[in-house]
Amino acid sequence: MLTRLSTPALRHWPTLRSSVSSACLPHQHARPPVHCSLTSAHRSFAGRRKGGDHKRWHRHAEHAAEEGEAADGSAAGGAGAAEAASGESARAEGEGSADSGGASHVPSVIRGVPHFPQLFAVPLFRKPAFPGFYQILQVQDKEVVDFLLDLRKKGQEFVGAFLTKEEPKSDDEETYVATLRVDAGKVAKIEDMYDTGSIIHVLNFVPHQNSQGGQLIVMPHKRIRMLGPTDMDQKSNVLWNVKVEYLQDEMIKFEKNTTLKALHHEIVATLKELLRTSYFYKEHFESVIRFYNLDYPAKLADLVAGISMAKREELQNVLAEENIEQRLSLVLEIAKKDLEFAKLQSQVRAQVEEKISKEQRKYLLMEQLKSIKRELGLEKDDKETIIQGFHDAIKDKTVPEEAKKVIDHELSRLSSLEMSSSEFNVCRTYLEWLTSLPWGHHTDDNQDIKKAEQILNEDHYGLQDVKDRILEFMAVNVLKGDVQGKIMCLVGPPGVGKTSIGRSVARALDRKFYRFSLGGLFDVAELRGHRRTYVGAMPGKLIQALKASGSCNPVILLDEVDKLGRDFRGDPASALLEILDPSQNNTFRDHYMDVPVDLSKVLFLCTANTSDTIPAPLLDRLEIIRIAGYVFQEKMAIANEYLIPQTATATGLKDDQIEVPQNVISRLVRDYAREAGVRNLLKLIEKVYRKAALKIVKDGEEMVKVALDNLVKFVGQPTFFSDRLYEETPPGVVMGLAWTQLGGATLYVEATGRLKKDIRGGEVPVNTQPDEAIEASDEKESDEGEERETDKPKKRPPSDDETPDSSMGGPFKVTGQLGSVMSESSQIALTFTRNFVKTIDPKNSFLDQATIHLHVPEGATPKDGPSAGITMATALVSLAVNKPVVRDLAMTGELTLTGRVLRIGGVKEKVIAARRENARILLFPLDNKKDYDELADYIKEGLHVFFVSHYRDVYNYAFGLADEVRNLPAREAPLPEAHSANELPIPAAAANAA
């Protein structure tokens, strides 16, 4: 490329250029912009070659290229740069004008550098190009590379280089993948580049092997200023074509100016200190600085700025500054910042080296100490210490024979393994689990029944069934003089204290307590452990419970047993069959332990919201204790005795700072926290106390009074309203009782009917007796005459949710989002009532001829179950006879086709729901009488409950035909639950329990 240059020393430039290309190629993780040092190469061939020793010169060039690669950012300059510049100027003078893409006329030559009036502008992204330093530019844009190569082919090797005002965003920041850096490219607007730059000579291009683009080796020559775009069509070019003017630096020495001399000495002193502090600058010194002429201010400024690690904006300010004193001042400031950074870097390196040296020294001393102790017999080998620790762990334990054999075998195996092997750690972990189990160790149960009862009453109000069962369990253990286990399951709605009662039971029995949840558990290995062949294998939860509790007879609470999962990893419910079977769990084998473990002394307490989702074989192994929930009186007692004192302690409020009267608590229970448990009631009380604390702290109030008129400000509007839709039910409407997971609830069954239109199109009114309707139809027919056959109404086919019955009457439609069981109950009720109505009124054929629609309100709530059978039948009978049922009546029971009333569940919940809605007269199946008799007296207070075995009894009670109903006094006041809390006495038994 430069073979026609007049300077003899540069005739070998292609060889040097190839050396530069090979030596300065950066790898994919190269550091930011690289300046290859070629000063020593220039020195090697700048003088005359002696004896034509071409190989000697080539070795110097390769050595210089290697120094530039090691420095990775070093600069070059000196005499070689000047000679190269003069050579290029000679070539420029000999070649004439550039092609049409560049300057349109022959450039002038000033001080050996060709001056073009217009140039193509190459945007630089990372740092500006300072004159006199070879530089490698990484260019990834293929269009820019092709454009520059095309310019070189046309003879135009000089372009302008201008730093962009903002550094483009790198793809690495988004993808987190290392890519080649981008030093140059293209910009959309000319305003994106600074005005001051450098004219650079494109010397060579080396393409990348595995990606597009490549690296350009360029030589910056002089400072230039961009004057603006030329008149050339810019859209046809990849780079902007701009007009430029050349900035001249006065070639004066430091001795001629005192200020410059002072700045020169300070910069040189800073550089010397940088050489002592920074390894990076030491590399530059070896390759560049010691060969560089520092007598000229401009060259010194370019040198320091070229090798500096300052910000791109600071370097651009140095390049753009024309005043030499100001430029040196900026350079000195940059050098000082680099010095501070170098000192910090050196300090960090010293701290790291000191820490490493300390750790190494400590390690060596510890190894020497161990060796000395072993020589003196003061310490045994680590392996012997570990084995002795395992022997000590089982010394005082009653280990079963099979487990003892396994432990001995594993200990002998451990002694033959090397401590560095992976099998050693596996064997050691297995022995740690084997020796840490509480073999034969159990805690002594509490023998004081009264003390246990006192503890249970202190922690929980009510739950008498659970407390009685625990006391019975204690009594059996006392009489037998042995420690036993048991398996119980507490079934009830959320918030009634199922989980918390487990800890109270453990405290009452003086046993250890461990809890884990089975909700959403899919993996059987969580219960039975992983096999030791797997990496990271561990025992199951039960073995972990024994280790954590340190005894063989803890209280283990299996929470949410009704929410077990099942998938390809196994069926945890099947695994529980062995765990919860008293005849099998005395030899329970965990997959990891692989030795029999006795679980028969463990008291298992399971909790569930419903028993319907528990598999039947598992349910058969559980002793079910049902918790129905709390009634109004119980919630009031719990709030006063437990929740309010706990909340006051948690919030820091004292009794003289807040006043919450009983009528407010009563309103919270009745209108805000109607669920079976007390969890929401606790949340409401905490909310009241938090808002009161805010008023005291923020507003400075000394006393906060909560009353009915300002309760809304504390807890918002009431959440619940009465479920009673009718104060007096019309014909065809009956109140039923239902059980939900949240407790009991009332629901209404509504029935309505419409007879078909007669042949003349007349319509029979709703609930009109069929015989009267027929007579009315006959009279209308005699008055108006016979209707034409074409005018007869067409029969509509039944819809999907209607049940056609051509022989017995019109379609039967059921709505309210009922389940399959409840839908079948409605069919049974219709079939039975059609026959039953004929027995009480043979002329009544309304149910046989009318279109019947049966609806259960709150259609968005799914409903299912057989207990609404007699309610549906009573609604249909009431519709047929056009007579309402007695006031304040609610009923529940399953109905058969023959009229038998079968047993139902959830008696306590349904009684509580009836009290809440002031339903005083209740009808229950006769088989549920014993369940009702077990209820507390304060729950049954004010209720009139009648037990029925056949639907005829239901009919007599529902329509007031029985003497027991006719003789009941009229309702004068609501049931005690609706009374003010100040007037409502808490039962003595409940108060004593609290």
Residues labelled as active-site residues: 867, 910
For residues 204 and 284, give the distance between their C-alpha atoms in angstroms, rounded to a whole number. 24
Question: Residue 489 pairs with which residues in a beta bridge?
Answer: 606, 624
Cβ atoms of 24 and 217 within 8 Å: the answer is yes
DSSP state of 233: -
Tokens of 276: 């002592």
Place of tokens 């108006």: 784
Q: How many CB atoms lie within 10 A of CB 206?
A: 16
For residues 583 and 591, give the distance between their C-alpha atoms in angstroms, rounded to a whole number. 20
For residues 892 and 629, give the distance between their C-alpha atoms in angstroms, rounded to a whole number. 19
For residues 326 and 317, give the distance between their C-alpha atoms in angstroms, rounded to a whole number. 10
Q: Each residue of 898-907: b (16+ CB within 10 Å) or e?
A: ebebbebebb
Of 108, 95, 12, 8, the residue nearest 56 (C-alpha)? 12
CA-to-CA separations, 30 to 24, 69, 181, 191, 283, in angstroms, rounded: 11, 10, 8, 30, 16
Residue 979 three-state SS: coil
Of 758, 749, 766, 767, the residue nearest 825 (C-alpha)? 749
Cβ atoms of 451 and 504 within 8 Å: the answer is no
Residues 6+ apart with CB under 8 A from 914: 737, 744, 746, 890, 922, 943
Of 340, 415, 331, the residue nearest 380 (C-alpha)? 415
Cβ atoms of 214 and 146 within 8 Å: the answer is no
Question: Residue 745 pairs with which residues in a beta bridge?
Answer: 738
DSSP state of 710: T
Tokens of 667: 């309103």
Residue 731 three-state SS: coil
For residues 398 and 601, give the distance between their C-alpha atoms in angstroms, rounded to a whole number. 15
User: Residue 305 class from Cβ within 10 Å (0-12 exposed, 13-18 middle, 19+ buried)?
Assistant: buried
Of 878, 880, 859, 867, the residue nearest 824 (C-alpha)? 867
CA-to-CA separations, 962 to 344, 956, 965, in angstroms, rounded: 101, 5, 6
Residues 6+ apart with CB under 8 A from 335: 267, 270, 271, 274, 304, 308
Tokens of 313: 């904006």
Amino acid found at 490:
L
Radius of gyration of the chain (CA): 49
What phi and psi values does residue 233 have, to the nearest 5 degrees? -65, 105
Of 491, 594, 595, 602, the residue nearest 542 (C-alpha)? 602
Cβ atoms of 620 and 574 within 8 Å: the answer is no
For residues 58 and 12, give the distance between their C-alpha atoms in angstroms, rounded to a whole number. 9
For residues 224 and 537, give the distance between their C-alpha atoms in angstroms, rounded to a whole number. 71
For residues 602 and 591, give the distance between their C-alpha atoms in angstroms, rounded to a whole number. 20
Question: DSSP assignment of 356-402, as one string?
Answer: HHHHHHHHHHHHHHHHHHHHHTSS--HHHHHHHHHHHHTTTS---HH
Residue 245 three-state SS: strand
Residue 102 three-state SS: coil
For residues 489 and 504, give the distance between their C-alpha atoms in angstroms, rounded to a whole number. 15
